[in-house]
Amino acid sequence: MPFNKIMVAITAILLTVFILIPLKSGLAQSESNVTLGIIDLEGDEVIGKTDLADKQRFSQDLTDYVASNLGNGTNPKLVTVDNTSAMIDLLGEQKVDLFIDSPFISALVDNKSGATPFMAIWGEKNPGYSSLIITKKSSPVIYHLYDLNGGKSIGFTSGDSSVGYLLPKSYLIGNGVKFSPPSSPADMIYIFTGSENETLSKVLKGTIDAGVLSSTFFNALPSSINSQLKIVGKTMEIPLGIISHRSEISPQLIDQVRNILMNMKADTKASEALKQFGSSVKFDFNPTQLVDNLTGLAAKAINGTESSYF
């Protein structure tokens, strides 16, 4: 299953399972709503705007499956905001029950809101994704990672991106690369390109010295393109997504979610699409240490006024 389809399926599963289970188990809020929060960030990897139709189709399939097993109606509430601060407030005020996002965004939000990460989602065959630091193979000045200092330029995707900014920047800082601003002009300069395609274009044209691409994007490039590139650095792998819950949610609900997801791929009543999804991912139900590590990496990457996130 392609990476973007997996993330569509992840979001749809969590939307549907999370909003239906509490009504069966007597855990619904007094207004019979269970609220899932999503941050709509252009540069992030969890789900793109163009995947909305696929998400809706998959959600309907999953809704029918879960409803047939639970037998109860629901009054779900989906809250979409366009920045992390708004989601932090909603979780802290107990107005959003569950929150799904990419690993670093989840770490940012959990750290400020008091929400608890309880599930990491990894791919079965390709466990997660990493960031690659790339440059032109023909570059006369960059052969190794330590060649990036000395006023070189690098393209990140956007300030909201896990794999396109937070992960690679923390990796570079950990390897001794310094960035300008606010340091010396002799340190590395970075720009936000807005997309991986634009990063790739700027690297190939030579308008920036290096760029960051996700491992999934790079591996999908035709040989005629990636043969022109060289990888000078590779970060650790991170999961496809993190699921968190508000601090005062019922632990019984979380147990129900774990059981549903663990047993889904073996359920003969599940559709072929659901079985395929269940077979393509695996769940880590104790990601607290992982999220703590991601929080530290994000703090390393963010500087200036953005450090108020921590």
- How far apart are the two ends of the chain, measured CA to CA in Å? 36
* Rounded Cα gap, residues 51 and 63, in angstroms: 18
Pick the residue with more confidence: 129 or 235? Answer: 235
Per CATH, 3-127+239-309 and 131-234 having the same topology is answered yes
Query: What's the Cα-to-Cα distance from 12 to each of 1, 56, 157, 192, rounded to whole Å?
Result: 15, 8, 25, 30
Pick the residue with more confidence: 119 or 136? Answer: 136
Nearest to 212 by CA among 130, 301, 147, 133: 133
**pLDDT at residue 30 in the model:** 38
Confidence of residue 113 (pLDDT cuts 50, 70, 90): very high
Domain at 3-127+239-309: CATH architecture: 3-Layer(aba) Sandwich (3.40)
pTM: 0.73
Residues sharing a CB contact under 8 Å with residue 218, sequence separation 6 or more, in sequence order: 132, 134, 226, 229, 231
Confidence of residue 21 (pLDDT cuts 50, 70, 90): very low
CB 189 within 8 A of CB 154: yes
CB 120 within 8 A of CB 157: no
* Rounded Cα gap, residues 310 and 133, in angstroms: 26
Domain parsing of the chain, residue ranges: 3-127+239-309, 131-234
CB 74 within 8 A of CB 299: no
Query: What strand order describes the sheet that includes 210-214?
Result: 179-180, 188-192, 153-156, 210-214, 131-136, 229-234
Token code pair at residue 172: 């570079």
CATH pick for 131-234 out of 2.30.22.10, 3.20.20.80, 3.40.190.10, 3.20.20.10: 3.40.190.10
For the stretch 160-218, pLDDT in tens is 788 899 899 999 988 888 886 655 666 888 999 999 999 999 999 999 999 999 998 99
Q: Would you state the torsion angle of the CA atoms of residues 277, 281, 285, 287, taken in this order, to the nearest 10 degrees?
A: -130
